[in-house]
């Protein structure tokens, strides 16, 4: 069981950028997005092995992802020393796997 989480710096920047992007379109949507991302992270922290392994990922650490409710995004993460490391808050339809180098740098 994991005990907490941490963001790769670029993943945290993605989260903030997406919150801003949604808020520019409609006030309050950015906050709803952030709450949905936090809910996905909390679920992953509670049960990190419940979510799908990233398709085609066949090395350590095991990278998994979880969808963000009501938004076309995924939280991409792996577990290291009982800590969930978030490597991306990625749009589900754009640039799949762009974050792969972050796994090695974490």
Average pLDDT of span 7-35: 95
pLDDT by residue (tens digit) across 28-64? Answer: 999 999 999 999 999 999 999 999 899 888 889 999 9
Q: Which residues does 102 contact at the CB level (< 8 Å), separation at least 6? A: 8, 10, 11, 87, 88
Q: How far is CA 95 from CA 34, 35, 92, 99, in A?
A: 21, 24, 8, 9
Write out the two tokens for 49.
């092995």
| Cα–Cα distance measured from residue 16 to residue 13, given in angstroms and rounded to the nearest whole number | 5
**What CATH number does the domain containing 73 carry?**
3.30.2310.20
Residue with tokens 């990625």: 90
Q: Which long-range contacts (CB under 8 A, 24 or more apart) does 100-103 make?
A: 102/8, 102/10, 102/11, 103/61, 103/63, 103/78
* Number of domains the chain contains: 1
Share of the chain above pLDDT 70, in %: 96
Confidence (pLDDT) at 97: 84
Domain containing residue 59: 4-105
Total-model pTM: 0.91
Element (H, E) at 14: helix 9-25
| Cα–Cα distance measured from residue 20 to residue 31, given in angstroms and rounded to the nearest whole number | 9
């Amino acid at each position: 069981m994991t005990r907490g989480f941490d963001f790769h710096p670029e993943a945290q920047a993605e989260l903030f950028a997406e919150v801003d992007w949604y808020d520019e379109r409609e006030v309050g949507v950015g906050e709803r997005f952030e709450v949905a991302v936090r809910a996905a992270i909390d679920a992953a922290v509670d049960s990190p092995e419940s979510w799908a392994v990233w398709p085609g990922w066949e090395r350590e650490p095991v990278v998994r992802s979880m969808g963000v409710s009501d938004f076309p995004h995924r939280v991409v993460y792996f577990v290291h020393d009982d800590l969930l490391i978030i490597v991306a808050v990625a749009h589900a339809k754009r640039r799949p796997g762009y974050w792969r180098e972050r796994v090695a740098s974490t």
